[in-house]
Amino acid sequence: MSLQFLWYIPNQARPGHRGDDAVAGHNSLATLSSHAEALERHGWAGALIGTGWGRPDTFTVATALAARTTTFQPLIAVRPGYWRPANFASAAATLDHLTGGRVLVNIVSGKDDLAAYGDSEGDQAHRYARTKEFMRLVRRLWTEEHVTHHGEHFSVTASTVVPRPAVVGGRRHPRLYFGGASEAAERVAATEADVQLFWGEPLDGIAARIERLKQLGERLGRELPPLEFGLRVTTLVRDTTEQAWADAEAKVARMARGAVARDVNWQAAVGQRRLLGLAERGEVLDDNLYTAPGRYGGGGAGTTWLVGSAEDVAKSLRNYQALGITHFVLSDTPYLPEIKRQGDRLLPLLRG
């Protein structure tokens, strides 16, 4: 199975995300396009574009960047409560059609400012039941005509999406990426996702989760092709191991002084709490998985970092690959210079 290497584009309302350079016009079309264009030049397949109320609309940003590029694949984060299934299926199919099959989708069920756009949270069981229904219905809308569905959360009658997503080889529609570490989330991933994304856990934790998801898919009667697996993690790469660790420790020292603002929901998710708990096992796990950032506000993919020379980090990522990881979503700040550094130094080692 071929490997895919994606980056992260920070579509943020405020500059300086996770220590990024706070430049003027940080979320302008020119600035964000420069990231997407750099990704094409330096060997990346595309980038994750995150979602959340109070930041630029993710689908709009993805569409603008796709129009400015030729191969860039936006991994568009979407929330089932923000979108209705038929609206989203139509929008994504249209963009996929226009770009010749470049759309990727990341389904997000985590907490957000739901009341601001008229959604309601419900308990965890409700939230993931809705997510499952959303994913299943969107896939039907992409692949069937005259779809009628009257479910617990969504309804459509005789719905046909036009135009259809691009068919590229055996690919009939955009892949659905999904994350989550709770039992409810894993049940959705095991049956409905195309790719399960993990954050930067140690190898033993990732291996256990992959095996659990495979067994769960068999037990629940997964009807889709085998679930694939991805890793979303910060990679701090420098010319030498020593320089990388010096820079990593300096970054954490700045975080300890309050240089990185914490997300208000940073401890809400089961997966986030798993990452924060890793620090109890040690400051450095496996060869170079740095857990200290989580102590000082690092959240999500910024909770743990893989630190080292390009050779060090490539070795660690190959260890994840040996477990079955084939999709990698990497990043470090400042984002734009690191696209070039890691694209030129890290990616050739991974592809070689």
Amino acid identity, position 173: H
Spatial distance between the Cα atoms of 287 and 224, rounded to a whole number of angstroms: 35
pLDDT bin (cut points 50, 70, 90) of residue 77 is very high
2 pLDDT more than 60: yes
Q: Residue 2: what are its φ and ψ, rounded to 5°?
A: -70, 150
Q: Are 253 and 349 in contact (CB under 8 A)?
A: no
337 pLDDT more than 90: yes
pLDDT in tens, 5-61: 999 999 887 877 887 788 888 899 999 999 999 999 999 999 999 998 999 999 999
- Kindly list the distances between the CA atom of residue 260 and the CA atoms of 26, 182, 199, 270, 329, in Å, as whole numbers in the listed order: 17, 27, 19, 22, 21
pLDDT in tens, 148-195: 999 999 999 999 999 999 999 999 999 999 998 899 999 999 999 999
User: What average pLDDT does this structure show over 63-68?
Assistant: 98
H/E stretch holding 235 reads: strand 228-238
Q: Quick one: pLDDT at residue 60? A: 97
pLDDT in tens, 194-253: 999 999 999 999 999 999 999 999 999 999 999 999 999 999 999 999 999 999 999 999
Name which of 333, 340, 307 is nearest 255 in CA terms: 333
C-alpha R_g of the chain? 19
Spatial distance between the Cα atoms of 242 and 292, rounded to a whole number of angstroms: 17
pTM of the model: 0.94
